[in-house]
Amino acid sequence: MSQTVLQAEGLTKTYRSGTNSLTVLDSVSFSVSQGETLSIIGPSGSGKTTLLGLCAGLDVPSSGIISLMGFKLNAMSEDDRAHIRNQYVGFVFQNFQLLQTLTALENVMVPLELRGEKNVSAKAKDLLDRVGLGQRMHHYPTQLSGGEQQRVAMARAFITDPKILFADEPTGNLDEENSNHVTDLLFSLNKQQQTTLILVTHNLELAQKTERILRMRGGKLVDQQSTAVL
Amino acid sequence: MIEYIITLKRKTSNIFNDGWVWRMAWRDARHNFSRLFLFVASLITGIAAVVALDSLNNSLQDDIDRNAKELLGADYVINANHKFEPELLTTFDSTKVEQASQADMASMVLFLNNNQSRLIRLVAFDGPFPFYGELETQPADAYTKMKGGRYAMLDASLASQYEVSSGDSLRIGNITFKVAGEVKRLPGGGGILTTFTPSVYISMSELDSTGLVQYGSRVTYKRFFKTTSESDAEKLVEDFKPLLRKYGHSYETVEGRREGLGEGFNAIYRFFSLLAFLALILGCIGVASSVHIYAREKRDEVAVLRCLGSTGWQAFNIYFIQIFFLGVIGSVIGAFMGAGIQQLIPVLFRDMLPLEVSFSISWISIAQGVVLGTLVSVLFSMLPLIAVRFVPPLTVLRSDFESVKTFSKSRLVAMVLIALFPFLFATYQTHSWRMGLMFSLGLAGALGLLTLVAMGLLYLVRKFFPTNASFVWRHALSNLFRPNNQTRMLMVSIGLGAFIIATLNIVEKSLLGQVEFTGQENQSNTILFDIQPSQKDGVVKLMKENNLDVKQVVPIITCRLSMINGKTVDEIQQDTTDRIRNWALTREYRVTYRDSLTASEELLKEYKKDDLVVKFPPPELQHRVKNPSGLFKVPIQTKEDQRYYGGVIGDSAVVNIPVTRDSVFVTISEGMTDELQVTVGDSLVFDVQGVPVRVIISGIRKVDWPKDPPNFIFVFPTGVLENAPQIFVATTRIDDQQVANRFQQQLVTLYPNVSLIDLRLILSTINELFDKLGLVVRFLALFSIITGLVVLAGAVINSKFVRMKENVLLRTIGARSRHIRGITLVEYAYLGLFSALTGLILSLGGGWLLTKFFFEITFAFDWLELLIITGGVVLLTMVIGWWNSRDVINTPPLQILRKES
């Protein structure tokens, strides 16, 4: 049996403003196994991004338990969660989130440097070569197109050989050609490195490329299906 | 399931062993130096101000210490305002130390080369003065020549003003002197004093022959002593003390002069320190504000780093390293710039100091500046940088997500240190914790008031927003309220500069207002004094011949106090419980006699004490009222029954004091009652040229001193002093300069001992003084304005991209270039206007307080000049804003749209 890398139990997130409160995520429970690919879909405001944030340890739930690689994230300090992310997690965002003052190569090197590893540039260069940016590794993000920036972001996400990769609308800001290129790259790198992939998207076509789809509505998990069944 | 063991696994690293934060700091800083321009500029301005003024103080103190003896010219000096008494002269002669003498008095001088005349300070020397320092003349032998006969030297400023040079002649009193040369430097003299009283120097042997020293002449005598050691000087001081006290003379020692000068400079230094302190604090605010903006801009990047696994402290350290090193660089630049500015200060101060100051570079001040700057950059960037630690990683997904945690121990420590900083810095700078406390409280008060006024103005603008104004004006005004705006900060810092300049202007106008009555119709602007009784008719005739209106001819009698309320001056001096100051007891009083009030006087009509309301009698009854019993009484009218009581008004009720037929009732000026501790009903005995005259104070006059001079502390009734030795003062009004010159020339020729004060000359002297002082103060006020403008430039630069995007949007929806230019210019015009108004509103309040309570003069200001200050601030703000916004205005829209895409 595959190892569970992510487990959510009764995840609830409520925002309070004065006497008002707004529950954006309501008792969501699911688990993800090692190497599984999963997408979270749902309309705007359904709680997809909130769920992703909680799963990746970017935020803590109001109630419920979130366990990543066996670590109970909601019991940890922010810095401890940052350490977990650095060790086990990769991210790809809709708006790329590259550090504007760093070159493509330096952006890719950052996660390994944070681990305190030395001589990381070779690995970063190799990854940039694999995503087709070997010739542009010394360019700054502003000198790259959207598709290129997203490929740099993927190289950065995969450089730590993450156990789990969170992707938030990774093709949301790209044209069709770039979108296809990035999608292919994402799934191919994922397969090569046996990474668990959790994808948040509006794009059903993209979602159907994953093994399982979680459907959110009004902060609740309303359905989860294997795409094989679909 | 894996157990929670993360805390055991995670290695923590500090800033020194975490190479990654140093690499990141460098990588990030490569592209951010321009964004930290505001930070560095704020620091440079503040540190430059502190170093410049600190170096100036060090140089001044060093030079005062080094040149103390030269400042006095002797070891010990005795000052008297009349000739030394025979007893004193005998004592002087009995001492075996080297001595020199000086006499000085006001006199007219007539320059025979151009027939111009003016009032000068005539200084007569006898003996080998100065004992220390050098009397520097041009030519070098002028002093020797002067001692030898009928030669005079004059201050260089006077010589150049009247184009007099060696060999020319001038007339003082009855004597014509040849000019021996100019005095370039005189121990103990010079500096700003010469602006008020330019001097002419002659030999003491010639003084009497000028015929100037007559009855009533105000001559000050000095005796200089040179001792062989400090202990001799101290012994001399102790030996002379009882006699000096007895005769009311004063003395000065080297130490006293050093302390006096030191205190004088301390006062100036404190003022400068205050300005430097303000500039530094504004710089600190600039630092905090710039780092705040910088940290906000870095928020997204920090969130990404947090996502990738950076800890809060690691993120903090990246920016802390940048700020620290830029802080050191800024401090070094600021310190050296301050040292450079200090070299400029001698140019501003040259005419104002009585000694030559070396203005050497003070390396200690530079080192202190660097340390202080680094401290300031670290301390004041701490709060915004600590906020970096709490940037939530979730911001990468939701940019509006705010951190829940806003409080930490490090934040609390930073807040406490920031709150303490102004106090600690001011205490360190002034070497007094009291002064430090006053500075920091004053600063808090001033900045608090400025902020309040700024907030009030912004509130009013919002409340009465000109909704019907054109698009450009409305949009420009709205820009002041944009998110993360620096409007209030800019209004406070630029407003502070405007406040200092406007307050100076108000004080200047108020002081000038005191003498500007000369501009009013029918007011006297020329005073002739030292007119002997035999000359009175002749002088009046001369005035009439020149078609001058004789406004007043006032008799003046000199006298001294010998008793107050039955106690002799000696007894009062001995009585340690008495609070009457010695100068008030021993001074020479110049009194007059008349039976009516002048236009500048007002008799205090009502004297309230308990329920008794005393109506003073009309002036003609003021001084003596005869009643059938033969007693002189002042009638008093009570509130209740309108009846008259006999007797003299006491402190709390009617006092029936025995007055004789020849009792004299005098009035006293308002302020002097406190100095002499007397009131209505008290008795005094004056020594009028050896004749004791007992008087009773029957009234108190409120005197508007500068108005319609001469004015007097004591006014006697007529019929008492007519036969006493007296001199006269005459006043007139001369509007035409040619008439003034002609009249002065005739006066000096016919009546050489009569001096003339041209109040217009005093007016121009005060103007000149303020021009000099104003230059220095304005120069220092500029620091605060520059800081404000640096903050403005930084704010514009930091908000450049947001503004560019807005402009592109505006252009996309149809705004033309002129709209964009208009909005930008009008926005800065508004900012400048509101900043100037903030300063002006406060300066009117501050100026009023200063004039009323500190200078005790009538509050006056000139709207036009305040408008010019406002216009200057607006223009400067517009220029700086415009200069930094050129990119914003001129960048093509497509460039921004590409960037955005």
**A71-72 and A63-68 beta bridge pairing:** antiparallel
B8 touches chain A (CB under 8 A): no
Q: Using an 8 Å Cβ cutoff, are B469 and B823 in contact?
A: no
Q: Using an 8 Å Cβ cutoff, are B620 and B596 in contact?
A: yes
Provide the ipTM.
0.85
Range from B302-311, B390-399, B614-623 carrying the lowest mean pLDDT: B614-623
Range from A160-169, B451-460, B571-580, B806-815 carrying the lowest mean pLDDT: B806-815
- Inter-chain touch B396–A78, beta carbons under 8 Å: no
- Inter-chain touch A115–B309, beta carbons under 8 Å: yes
Q: What is the dihedral of CA B596, B601, B606, B610, to 10 degrees?
A: -120
Average of pLDDT values for B556-562?
A: 88
Strand partners, B203: B125
Range from B130-139, B198-207, B395-404 carrying the lowest mean pLDDT: B395-404
B6 touches chain A (CB under 8 A): yes
Q: What's the confidence (pLDDT) of residue A12?
A: 94
| Annotated domain spans of chain B | 1-68+268-431, 69-260, 446-524+759-901, 550-732
A44 touches chain B (CB under 8 A): no
Average of pLDDT values for B826-835?
A: 88
**What is the phi-psi region of residue B171: left when phi exceeds 0, alpha when psi lies from -120 to 50, beta otherwise?**
beta
State the Cα–Cα distance between residues B196 and B772, nearest whole angstrom: 13
Task: Give the residue from B882, B826, B883 showing the smallest Cα distance to B478.
Answer: B826
Q: Residue A95 above 80 pLDDT?
A: yes
B299 touches chain A (CB under 8 A): no
Q: What is the DSSP string of B815-876?
A: --HHHHHHHHHHHHHHHHHHHHHHHHHHHHHHHHHIIIIIS-S-----HHHHHHHHHHHHHH
Candidates B27, B309, B398; nearest CB to A102: B27
Residue type, B235: K
Residues 6+ away with beta carbon under 8 Å from A19: none
State the Cα–Cα distance between residues B885 and B827, nearest whole angstrom: 11
Q: Residue A140 above 50 pLDDT?
A: yes
Q: Residue B607 above 90 pLDDT?
A: no
Q: Residue B622 above 50 pLDDT?
A: no
- The 10 Å CB-count burial string (b at 16+, else e) for A195-227 is bbbbbbbebeebbebbbbbbbbeebbbeeeeee
- Computed on alpha carbons and rounded to an integer, the radius of gyration of chain A in Å comes to 17
Q: Residue B53 above 80 pLDDT?
A: no
At B496, is the pLDDT very low, low, confident or very high (cuts 50, 70, 90)?
A: confident
Residues 369..398 of B with a Cβ closer than 8 Å to A: which?
392-394, 396-398
Q: Residue B359 above 70 pLDDT?
A: no
Dihedral sign for Cα atoms in the order A67, A70, A72, A77: negative
What residues in B contact A70, CB-CB < 8 Å? 1-4
- Start-to-end CA distance of chain B, whole Å, equals 46
Can you tell me whether residue B255 is helix, strand or coil? Answer: helix
Candidates B7, B32, B396; nearest CB to A80: B7
Of all residues in chain B, the percent with pLDDT exceeding 90 is 7
What residues in A contact B2, CB-CB < 8 Å? 69-71
Locus of tokens 């009497």? B208
Candidates B2, B9, B309; nearest CB to A70: B2
Average of pLDDT values for A80-90?
A: 89
Q: Using an 8 Å Cβ cutoff, are B349 and B776 in contact?
A: yes
| Chain A interface disruption, residue of B307, B401, B410, most A CBs within 10 A | B307
A159: nearest CA in chain B? B308
State the Cα–Cα distance between residues B515 and B555, nearest whole angstrom: 23
Q: Residue B651 above 70 pLDDT?
A: no
Q: Find the angle CA(B445)-CA(B55)-CA(B364) to the nearest 5 degrees.
A: 105
Q: What's the confidence (pLDDT) of residue B654?
A: 37
- Selected residue with higher pLDDT from B736 and B181: B181
What residues in B contact A82, CB-CB < 8 Å? 306, 309-312, 393
Q: What's the confidence (pLDDT) of residue B610?
A: 36
- Selected residue with higher pLDDT from B60 and B319: B319
Locus of tokens 């230059």? B775
Distance of CA A135 to the CA centre of its chain: 26
- Inter-chain touch A58–B396, beta carbons under 8 Å: yes
- Inter-chain touch A52–B397, beta carbons under 8 Å: yes
- Inter-chain touch B20–A72, beta carbons under 8 Å: no
Burial (0-12, 13-18, 19+ Cβ within 10 Å), B101: middle
State the Cα–Cα distance between residues B13 and B458, nearest whole angstrom: 47
Average pLDDT, chain B: 77
Strand partners, A130: none
Q: Residue A220 above 90 pLDDT?
A: yes
Task: Give the residue from B847, B850, B765, B831 showing the smallest Cα distance to B198.
Answer: B765
State the Cα–Cα distance between residues B583 and B588, nearest whole angstrom: 9
Q: Please state the length of chain A.
A: 230
What residues in B contact A83, CB-CB < 8 Å? 6, 9-10, 309, 311
At B5, is the pLDDT very low, low, confident or very high (cuts 50, 70, 90)?
A: very low
Average of pLDDT values for B683-702?
A: 83
Locus of tokens 């915004």? B384
Q: Residue A56 above 80 pLDDT?
A: yes
Average of pLDDT values for B429-458?
A: 81
Q: How many CA atoms, within 13 angstroms, populate the side-chain half-sphere of residue B711?
A: 19
Residues 310..329 of B with a Cβ closer than 8 Å to A: which?
310-314
Q: Residue B355 above 50 pLDDT?
A: yes
- Inter-chain touch A67–B1, beta carbons under 8 Å: yes
Residue type, B291: V
| Annotated domain spans of chain A | 4-226
Candidates B30, B397, B901; nearest CB to A168: B397
At B344, is the pLDDT very low, low, confident or very high (cuts 50, 70, 90)?
A: confident
* Architecture field, domain A4-226: 3-Layer(aba) Sandwich (3.40)
Instruction: Quote the minimal CA–CA distance from B4 to chain A in Å.
Output: 5
Q: Residue A37 above 70 pLDDT?
A: yes
Q: What's the confidence (pLDDT) of residue A64?
A: 93
Range from A189-203, B180-194, B623-637 carrying the lowest mean pLDDT: B623-637
- The 10 Å CB-count burial string (b at 16+, else e) for B843-879 is bbebbeebbeeeeebebbbeeeebeebbeebbebbbe
Range from B123-137, B347-361, B483-497 carrying the lowest mean pLDDT: B347-361
What is the maximum alpha-carbon separation in chain B? 124
Q: What's the confidence (pLDDT) of residue B606?
A: 41
Locus of tokens 């979270």? A40
Per-residue pLDDT of B725-763, as tens digits, reads 888 989 888 888 788 888 888 888 888 888 887 777 766
Residue type, B601: E
- Selected residue with higher pLDDT from A167 and B581: A167
Q: Residue B89 above 50 pLDDT?
A: yes
State the Cα–Cα distance between residues B126 and B147, nearest whole angstrom: 8
- Inter-chain touch B309–A97, beta carbons under 8 Å: no
Q: What is the DSSP string of B564-629?
A: ETTEEHHHHHH-TT----HHHHHSEEEEEE-SS--TTEEE--EEEETTEEEEPPPHHHHS--B-TT
- The 10 Å CB-count burial string (b at 16+, else e) for B188-218 is bbbeeebbebbbbbbbbebbeebebbeebbe
- Inter-chain touch A114–B27, beta carbons under 8 Å: no
